[in-house]
Amino acid sequence: GVCHLKGGSPEQMYASIQKIKQCIPHHVKVYPGHSYGKEPGANIDSLMKDNLYFQLTNLQQFIDLRMRPNPKSIIAIE
């Protein structure tokens, strides 16, 4: 999921998600390698309804969202 570090690519992530949406049956359950706020074992169909990254169908919108600054990581300089 990290795109801003060396080797990361929002374009490749977008392509992977689009492939998953087309190739994996929607009843298949997903068990992610990290917590993302949902119970493990949700199916692809629920990801497509609940996960914003699965809802986007425009590459540039995906890149803009994925590469936006994370407000939690911004340090205020006084």
Question: Where do the structural domains in the chain lie, given as residue ranges?
Answer: 10-73
pLDDT, residue 71, reads 57
Q: What is the mean pLDDT of each run of 10 residues along the chain (78 residues)?
A: 86 96 94 78 89 94 91 50
pTM (two decimals): 0.78
b/e 11-40 (16+ beta carbons within 10 angstroms → b): eebbeebeeeeeeeeeeeebeeeeeeeeee
**SS3 at position 44:** helix
pLDDT, residue 33, reads 80
